[in-house]
Every structure is written in C-alpha cells, then in structure tokens.
Amino acid sequence: MEQGVLGPLEARSISGRFNMAGEKREQLLDPIDRISEILFGLIMAVTVVGSMSIASAGHEQVHTATIAAIGCNLAWGLVDAVMYLVGTVTERTRNRVIAKQVIGTEVQTAHRLITEALPPHIAAIVGSDEVEGMRRRLLALRFEGRSLLGPRDYAEAFGIFLLVVIATFPVVLPFLLIGDPIRAMHASRAVTVVMLFFAGFALGRSAGHAKPLRTGLAMAVLGVALIVVVMKLGG
C-alpha cells in the first residue's frame, strides 16, 4: 500500500503505531525504534562476551570471544532486518485485504471493519465522521501495480541492521585496546552498563516518561543483573 494513502490502516511493523494523518515520514526509524535496536545489540554483545571464562582466558580465547560477539550481532542484525521486512509485508497484505473488503461492502459494515483495524486506544476516540472520512479515502484507492515494499522500507531494514551491529563495538573495543583480559572484561562491562543507562534514559524521554532517569537506571540495573547471571553461569 502506498504510504499516506491508507493512513489509519497502515500499521508500522516495529513500533506498531498508526499514521492517523497520513503525514510524510521524516525519519527512517523513530527514536524508540532506534534506541530499542541499540539496546538489543548491547545485550546480545555483552551476553556473548560475558560467556567467556576470564579466569582461564588467554589471548586466543579473548580473540575468539570478540569475533563471536561481532559475528553474533551481524547474524542477529541480519535476522532482525529480514523479519522487519517480513512483518511489513504481512501487515500491509492484511491491510490491503481489509481495504478491499471496506470498498466492496455497505457503509455500516465498512465502518465496523475500519474500527476493528484500528488500535484499541485509537478506535476508542474516533467518531463516525472520522471513520467515514477514512472509508471515502479508501474508495479512491487503486491497488494495481503497487508494491508492498518500497525503497524506504529497505533503507529502514538496513538501518536496523546497522544499529544492531554498531552497538557491538563499544562492548568489544576494550578487548582490542587492553592486553589484560580481566581488565578488558571489567572495562567492557562498565561500558555496557553506562551505555544501557543512556539508552534507557533516551528511551524513557522519547516515550514521554516524567522521570526518564528512572528508565535509564532500570536499564542499567538490567545490565548489571544480566552480567551477574552470566558470571554465575561461568562467564
């Protein structure tokens, strides 16, 4: 479906939000999407690196763990990007089916279909005039020749891939700069906790939390808890 034409029926596959006004998107990924991908990459990297036993680690083991962390995030970044495209195609296919049903049915049934397609918190506040306006815009649609994916969707998928991968490097960088594996691991964990705090803070601020510091602290605590669990498991 063409972006901005189906407006209320176009759900974003990552954020799950609807474009009510059909406005042009100015960013490839909204802030919550970007921060969430960074958090994912950080947690993946610290989990892989933290699985290495520092007590017996030598240069070769450290090198192996570093490569493993980068390779793991490359793989998961690719998977995440592909699943984003799959989710986008699935959602838009569903929306196109609903749109065609709306076009081919009576007014009352069309209103019901549109309302059911909206997120509950949006459906609860729209009135019959807004729903009728959506129905009339759908009547003007032409589906023939329209691709389910466009260049922007591929750019967003590539952006997701990059965010997951880039989040790896601050975690593995100490192992490339510090010769002592124990010091490098401590530095890596410290960097991870600090980055989790700032990412959590940014996530809370983007979500509109009154006290985003709490979100940052919560993410930092999550990081510490994850590191402790990995250590207990032998890392």
Question: C-alpha angle 207/167/35, rounded to 5°?
Answer: 10
Work out the pLDDT band at 158, boundaries 50, 70, 90.
Answer: very high
pLDDT tens sequence across 71-82 = 877 888 898 889
Q: Is residue 2 a part of any domain in this protein?
A: no
Give the contacts of 186 (CB within 8 A, at least 6 positions apart). none
> How many domains does the chain contain in total?
1
Q: Is residue 46 a part of any domain in this protein?
A: yes
Task: Look at phi and psi of residue 5 and say left if phi exceeds 0, alpha if psi is from -120 to 50, else beta.
Answer: alpha
Q: Which domain holds residue 129?
A: 7-232
Q: Is residue 174 a part of any domain in this protein?
A: yes
Q: Is residue 104 a part of any domain in this protein?
A: yes
Token couple for 229: 């669990």
pLDDT tens sequence across 166-205 = 877 788 788 778 877 778 778 888 888 888 888 888 888 8
CA distance 160 to 53: 31
Q: Is residue 88 a part of any domain in this protein?
A: yes
pLDDT tens sequence across 10-63 = 333 323 333 333 334 445 666 777 777 777 777 777 666 666 555 455 566 667
Q: Is residue 222 a part of any domain in this protein?
A: yes
pTM for the model:
0.67
Q: Is residue 224 a part of any domain in this protein?
A: yes
Q: In terms of pLDDT, which residue wins out, 54 or 216? A: 216
> What pLDDT does 86 receive?
93
Question: C-alpha angle 6/140/123, rounded to 5°?
Answer: 40
Q: Is residue 128 a part of any domain in this protein?
A: yes
